[in-house]
Amino acid sequence: MHTADMLIHVHPELDAQARSALEKRIMGCIGVDCAEFDHHAHPHAMIVKYDPDEIQGMQILNIVRTIDPVASRVGL
């Protein structure tokens, strides 16, 4: 299994409940190993670890954009 990391920035007004729901939704995707916000230091940045052979980064970003249309992918 290959792994890749992606950092996704969401709108600052996305509340804690919506961020938690987003983590769960992304974690439910096949190929995603981890999806989490750093709720203290960077509450609007979600790191996603995934297998690019199973799911593409743009697929993950598009799922996030269903919750937050202005979400953006940040290069690592």
Domain CATH for 56: 3.30.70.100
- Please say if the pLDDT value at position 76 is more than 60: no
Q: Which tens digit of pLDDT belongs to each residue from 8-35?
A: 999 988 888 999 999 999 999 999 999 9
Q: What is the mean pLDDT of the chain?
A: 92
Strands 42-50 and 72-74, bridge-based pairing? unpaired
Residue 26 structure tokens:
């992304």
Residue 15 structural domain: 4-74
Q: What is the number of domains present in the chain?
A: 1
Average pLDDT, stretch 23-51? 92
Confidence grade of residue 46 (pLDDT, cut at 50, 70, 90):
very high
> Model pTM greater than 0.85?
yes
Phi then psi dihedrals of residue 9, to 5 deg: -100, 130
Q: In what order do the strands lie in the sheet with 42-50?
A: 32-38, 42-50, 4-9, 72-74
Average pLDDT, stretch 27-46? 90
Q: How far is CA 5 from the centre of its chain?
A: 10
